[in-house]
Structure formats: C-alpha cells, structure tokens
Structure 1
Amino acid sequence: MFHAASSSARATGPSPAPPSPPPSAQSPTEGVPAPRGSRTAAEPPAKQRDAFFDNAKYLAIVLVAMGHSWEPLKGGHRTLEAAYMFVYAFHMPAFILISGYFSRNFDLRPDRLKRLLTGVVVPYVVFETAYVLFKRAIGGDPDLAISLLDPWYLTWFLIALFIWRLTTPIWKLVRYPIPLAIAIAIAMLASVSPDIGDDLDLQRVLQFLPFFVIGLSMKPEHFQLFRRRAVRVLSVPVLAGGLAVAWWAVPRMNPAWFYHRDSAHELGVPWWCGPIMVLALLGCSLLLTACFFSWVPRRQMWFTTLGAGTLYGYLLHGFFVKGADYRGWYDHGWLHRPLGELFVTLLAGAVVTVLCTAPVRRVFRYVMEPKMEWAFKRDASALAHERAGA
C-alpha cells in the first residue's frame, strides 16, 4: 500500500548512499505526491530517486494484490493458506515501514499539509465513496451506506497514513527509543480494547503504528545493512522457516491476527493473548521484512519506475478482485486447482503492474494527485517574493 500507502507514489527525502531502498526523487511524504508545477525555476532539481525503495514498493504491492486474489480460493487448501499467512506477515509491515521512513521530514508546514490533504485525504474520500457505490451496483448490496468514518476494504491504509503523518512531529520530539516503546504499548493496549470500535479503523491504525514509528527512526545506513551478503544468505533459512511455521499454523491459528483489525476479545481468545500476539507478530514481521528487503534489487530494473505508482495499483486493484468475487468468477472449479491458483496469482500480479504504469496514473491523477490550488490560500512568503520580483 500503499502510498499507498501511506500510501506510495512520490516521496522525497534523503536517498541512502549507494542505491539502497526505492527510487527516483522521493518526496518527504511517502505516498503523498508533490503538487505538479509546484517547483520554481530557482529551486534545485529534484534528487535522484533511489531504485531500492521503488523496487521494494512495487514488489510489496504485487504481494498485496496476490494476497487479495487468494482470499476467495484459500479455503480448505492448506498450501495456499500457508502462503497467504506467510505473505500477510510482512507485506503491509514492509510498506508501512517505508512510508514511515519517507515521513521523517514531515512537519506542519503549509505546503506539506496541502500535500497530505490532496494526496491522502482526497483519495480517501473518493475511493471510500467509489468502493461503496461499486458494491451497491455490482455486489448486490444496494442499502450499503457511505460512511467516511468506517473505512471499507483497502481505504483503511489512507486514513491510517493520514493519522500517522499528523502525529509524526510528536514522535520526532521524543528521544529514541521512547517513541517505539510508546507505540508498542499503544498497540498492546489496543489489542485488549474491544470498545475502540470500527471508527476510522483505529484498531489497525494503532496496532500497525510500531512499524510506522520504526520507519521514522531509520536512517539510510540502516538500509545498507540489508545489502550485506551475510544477511541475504541468512535470510534463506529464515524465509524457509517462516513458510514451515505458516504451514504448521494453518489449522492452529486464526489468520485474522495478521489483519490487526480486531481485539483479542473479538477474536474469541483471553485478553492476555492480545499483547502477546502483538509482540510475537511484531518480531516475526520485522524479521521477514528484513529478509524481504535483503532480496530487493538495488539497481534499476524494468519495474523500478512502477514504484512511483504503487498507491494507484493499491487502490485500483481492489475493483478487479472484488468485481471477480461479486460476479462469481472464483466459482469455476478449475481455479481451485494448482494451475488455476497459479493463473489467478500471475493475473493479479499483471493487473496491479499495469495499474502502476504511467498511462493509468495520468488518467487517475486528477483524483489521486489533484492540484486544488483553488482550495488553498496563497502562501504569504511566495506572494511577497512574486511582488518583489515584479
């Protein structure tokens, strides 16, 4: 997610030394693109994007799409359920960690707040409404209400990114590792608080918070550690062990733990299981995320430029997955056999890849990256500069 999130498309911030994580010139707010035409001739050219991060975002969003495509197929198929749990253990944590990393420079400056509103809030309102209308028309639920307080399906990431970004100045104010300890404590408390409810999907916002805070505290040199050959070699048995544990856990563990959207009580277990699972999954997710990063290419690849469009792929692929489900396309028996599952997996990867391309981004930019100059006051310093120049 994406810029998703957060989220997702362009984020700027210092690029790690030798190509280490995603891109072309990332902006300070990962997933919140800078307004088009906002640079003046006097400003220096944008920094080169670091290919590692764009590669990581693209690969993560492909895993997200594949995981969503498996949901209607995995019932009763242990291998697919194990793959599903394995991927869900780290794909969103990796995306959220990157979003946190590119939020390090976020503050309450007017231009950054504008980008947050146009790059996160506006897409949230548009896609929350669009998904509900889509389900009304295609999903046979004509009475489904539009509620901006109750994110549906994929839109939770946008509202989470919005809240996390707004709190960034607070996390930056406190000396490390206190922010991480507080974030973990908040996540643990959320897991034992069923009364939080569904408003703004706060369970997910709070339980995923530690990954965002960890990203905020990371520096370019931390990502350099993943480039070491020893890390990549060690990641092989770790990933194999993760798959084995997922296979073992299929009949023993509720996969809803990986969604981080419910409290322990709502999952039907004693309250003390919540904090334990938060810590266990945090450790597991970080370990698998590190292994994932160790295999992300550091150089320019054919898909590197697609990393700038991951929020587009994240928000748009849901219409294809849900549309196929609503239309009963998953009911075909051959799709529930190994070759059919492989076909669905590859198709999901291909669809989300196309949705990250430049032509698709041009079409949907008016709702994903609107300029909305008409909605904002002109910056006083910019006006003064223009008058002085005149």
Structure 2
Amino acid sequence: MTSAIPRSPGAVSGAGQAVAPKKREAFFDNAKYLAIVLVAVAHSWEPIMDGSRATKALYMVVYTFHMPAFIVISGYFSRSFAAKPHQMRRLVTGVAVPYIVFETAYSLLKWVGEKPHELSISLQDPWFLTWFLIALFVWRLTTPLWQAIRHPLPVALVVAALASFCPSIGNDLDLQRVLQFLPYFVLGLCLKPEHFQLVRRREVRLLSVPMFLFALAFSYWIAPSFASGWLFHNASAQQLDHAWWTGPLMELGLFCCSLLMTACFLAWVPGRSMWFTVLGAGTICGYLLHGFVIKTAGFAGVFDDHPWLSAPAGEAVVSVTAAVVVTALCTPPVRRAFRWATEPEMAWAFRGSK
C-alpha cells in the first residue's frame, strides 16, 4: 500500500516512514500489487466458500501469508523512523487521517446496509479492513523502542503469545490484531536487503513449489475442522473456544508457517518492471476501496440471490472479478482521485508548513 509501504529506506514518503529519494524498487511494488490482489480475492471468497472444502483450503493458504507479507515489508521500510517532526507529520496524514476517513465511511456503509439500521461510528472499534491502519500507526510509533532493545523479535513474540490468551484485552483499536501481528512488523525492522535477495534465489523458488503444494494438501485435510479465526489474529484462544495454552502454541506455529509461506510467495515475485509494477504505488486505494465493493455486493444480496456463485464456475467468476476490480482501484487515476483521503497534505495543520 502506498502510504503503508514506501519505496526504500531513507527520506520520508507515505505515512511518515523513512525512504531514500531514489527510484522505486520494482520488486516491492510487484509484491504489493500481487498481495493486494490476493487480499481482495480472499475477501471475495468469504461469502461463498461455505460447503466448499477446496475453497476453504485455498483461503487458509492465502491467509497465512498475504497480510504477513504486507506487514513484514511495512516494517522493513520503517527502519529509519525515529519520530522526527516531518515523520510524525506524514504518519498523521498518511495513516491516522485515512483511518478516520475510511472508518467513518465504512461505518456509514454498515449503517445503510445492515438491518436494523443503527448508526454507530466508533473510531475505537475498527470494522472490516481498517484495522491495518490503526495497527500500522501503533507499530510505527513504537519503532524507536524496538530498535533500542537487544532482542526485539523474541520480545515481540512473547507479547503476541501473551495477547493470545488474554480475552480481557477487548475490541478497542483491535488490539488483539495489533499485538498478535506485531512480530511480523518487528521482523521487517530487523531485515536487510540481502535477506530479500536470499529468498529470491533460484533454489528457493524451486523449493517453494512443493511447499505450496504441501500447504494446499495439508489445508485441504484439516479444512473441515480448522477454525479460520486463528488466521485473523483478532481473538484470544478462549474466545475461539480453546484452552488458554493453545494460544501461545498456535501463535508460534502460525508465525513459522506464515514466514515460510511469505518466503515462498516472495520467491516468485518478479524483480523486474512488469505491466502491473506501476500499480504497486496505488495499493492503498485498492486495499481501502475494494471493501466497499464486496460489502455492498453482500448487503445487496448478490451472493445470497445467486447460489451458483458458490459452485466452482461461480467461484472462478467471483475471483476474477475481484482481481479485476482491485486492479482498477490501484491505477494512477484512482490514486489521484482519492489522494485527498489517502495522502492529504494538510499543510494548514502543522507548524512550519509552507
């Protein structure tokens, strides 16, 4: 996403992260675009995958790495964030303000679409996909802390494990997700360019094929009994009707699986400029806007009124449609049209702004 994941470490871009004033790296733009397509497609499967073991298996595999990949890359490009005034300004305009705008917009959509029609706008309780913005805001604010301690990743894993069996954390700011996804962001802070070069080696690319096939087969095997809630990282073990001690075990296990699948995904991301590379700069629009399309379709009864969409052919149509829609939403014209909401300047709000 544009505001969430900048071009490269150094100066400032997007949501206050540190990036150097140099040419965008095609690899990361390609990764962002491909990941956002998977996000949209996976969201489109949710209303139609009940009763389809194969679709749930695909859903589970995609969910193990699409958001972890985004978060790791976000952390990687936040390494130089030191809470300097210009960085704080971009953090506010590139993350906090879009969160307020889109959380309000999604709340209005929910008010119109759900019955009974009850208007509830609470910035403390993110709905649907806006959680990522508030999480990114918190993660980036704490970046100086993670860079100051000796062993940040183990500490972050302990924090995530503790959160996984603490139902008292509640829903405010979706803190369960903030804490349980934290290790991926901290891992990104610890990575160096050579680590991304390592996963893009030919042997890793070849090994990723059987790994993906094994993941699909394993997911197909456990799909009927597996609770998808574990993949969302938004609830404690007790809230998922499991013993408290399963929380830390699942947290560590899913972290290992997600890193492995993320590496397999990145291994196949092209490093050269492609026709879709330019779309990587507009993934914030694709991410924030595609939800309106999916939720509106759901509220309008599209999925309920057309049961054929749950058949294999229908699922293929829904998947292709979601991919096309999110691709269109990532294009430069859409990005320019929504810049007022996703990347506002707001010079009037800051001291020393020209």
Q: TM-score range by the shorter chain?
A: over 0.9
In structure 2, the residue matched to 1:52 is 27
Calculate the TM-score normalised by the size of structure 2. 0.96
Equivalent position amino acid for 1:251 in 2: P
Task: Please tell me whether residue 269 in structure 1 is matched to residue 251 in structure 2.
Answer: no
Question: What is the aligned counterpart of 2:65 among 83, 90, 107?
Answer: 90
Give 1:139 deviation, angstroms: 3.0
Q: For residues 175-228 of structure 1, what are the alpha-carbon distances to aligned partners after superposition, in whole Å with 9 as ceiling and x for unaligned? A: 2xx100100000000001000000000000000000000000000011010221
In structure 2, the residue matched to 1:206 is 179
CA distance in 2, matches of 1:108, 1:336: 48
> Does the Cα contact within 8 Å between 1:11 and 1:32 map onto a contact in 2?
no
Task: Please tell me whether residue 364 in structure 1 is matched to residue 347 in structure 2.
Answer: no
Give 1:249 deviation, angstroms: 1.4
Question: What is the aligned counterpart of 1:32 among 4, 15, 19?
Answer: 15
Task: Please tell me whether residue 121 in structure 1 is matched to residue 96 in structure 2.
Answer: yes
Query: Structure 2 stretches of 5 or more lacking a match?
Result: none
Equivalent position amino acid for 1:32 in 2: A
Equivalent position amino acid for 1:286 in 2: L
Equivalent position amino acid for 1:309 in 2: G
In structure 2, the residue matched to 1:24 is none
CA distance in 1, matches of 2:264, 2:8: 25
Secondary structure at the aligned position of 2:129 is classed as helix
Task: Please tell me whether residue 72 in structure 1 is matched to residue 47 in structure 2.
Answer: yes
> Does the Cα contact within 8 Å between 2:16 and 2:86 map onto a contact in 1?
no
CA distance in 2, matches of 1:368, 1:11: 17
In structure 2, the residue matched to 1:388 is none
In structure 1, the residue matched to 2:137 is 162
CA distance in 2, matches of 1:11, 1:241: 33
Give 1:309 deviation, angstroms: 0.8
Q: For residues 231-283 of structure 1, what are the alpha-carbon distances to aligned partners after superposition, in whole Å with 9 as ceiling and x for unaligned? A: 01111111111111110111121011000000000000000000000000000
CA distance in 2, matches of 1:250, 1:167: 36
1:187-226 pair list within 5 angstroms = 187-226=160-199
Secondary structure at the aligned position of 2:338 is classed as helix
> Does the Cα contact within 8 Å between 2:16 and 2:88 map onto a contact in 1?
no
Secondary structure at the aligned position of 1:144 is classed as coil
User: Which runs of at least 4 in structure 1 moved beyond 6 Å after TM superposition?
Assistant: none
Q: For residues 337-375 of structure 1, what are the alpha-carbon distances to aligned partners after superposition, in whole Å with 9 as ceiling and x for unaligned? A: 111100000000000000010100111001111110000
Secondary structure at the aligned position of 2:316 is classed as helix
In structure 1, the residue matched to 2:257 is 284
> Does the Cα contact within 8 Å between 1:151 and 1:200 map onto a contact in 2?
yes
Equivalent position amino acid for 1:162 in 2: F
Identity fraction in percent: 58
Give 1:46 deviation, angstroms: 2.7
Equivalent position amino acid for 1:157 in 2: F
- Pair member with larger Rg: 1
Equivalent position amino acid for 1:249 in 2: I
> Does the Cα contact within 8 Å between 1:52 and 1:297 map onto a contact in 2?
yes
CA distance in 1, matches of 2:166, 2:2: 28
> What value does the CA root-mean-square deviation take over the aligned residues?
1.5
Task: Please tell me whether residue 350 in structure 1 is matched to residue 324 in structure 2.
Answer: yes
CA distance in 2, matches of 1:374, 1:214: 36
CA distance in 2, matches of 1:201, 1:144: 20
Task: Please tell me whether residue 377 in structure 1 is matched to residue 351 in structure 2.
Answer: yes
Q: For residues 1-54 of structure 1, what are the alpha-carbon distances to aligned partners after superposition, in whole Å with 9 as ceiling and x for unaligned? A: x456xx34x44416xxxxxxxxxxxx656x5278xxxxxxxxxx9301110000
Question: What is the aligned counterpart of 2:297 among 303, 315, 324?
Answer: 324
CA distance in 2, matches of 1:28, 1:271: 42
Equivalent position amino acid for 1:76 in 2: G
In structure 1, the residue matched to 2:124 is 149
> Does the Cα contact within 8 Å between 1:226 and 1:293 map onto a contact in 2?
yes
> Does the Cα contact within 8 Å between 1:28 and 1:104 map onto a contact in 2?
no
Equivalent position amino acid for 1:360 in 2: V
In structure 2, the residue matched to 1:228 is 201
Q: For residues 150-172 of structure 1, what are the alpha-carbon distances to aligned partners after superposition, in whole Å with 9 as ceiling and x for unaligned? A: 11111000000000000000111
Equivalent position amino acid for 2:331 in 1: T
> Does the Cα contact within 8 Å between 2:237 and 2:246 map onto a contact in 1?
yes
> Does the Cα contact within 8 Å between 2:16 and 2:81 map onto a contact in 1?
no
Query: Structure 1 stretches of 5 or more lacking a match?
Result: 15-26, 35-44, 384-390
CA distance in 2, matches of 1:334, 1:275: 40
> Does the Cα contact within 8 Å between 1:107 and 1:169 map onto a contact in 2?
yes
CA distance in 2, matches of 1:249, 1:58: 29
Equivalent position amino acid for 1:180 in 2: L
Give 1:326 deviation, angstroms: 0.4
CA distance in 1, matches of 2:292, 2:87: 30
Equivalent position amino acid for 2:73 in 1: I
Q: Could you tell which deviates more after superposition, 45-54 or 246-255?
A: 45-54
> Does the Cα contact within 8 Å between 2:7 and 2:28 map onto a contact in 1?
no
CA distance in 1, matches of 2:114, 2:100: 20
CA distance in 2, matches of 1:345, 1:182: 38
Calculate the TM-score normalised by the size of structure 1. 0.87
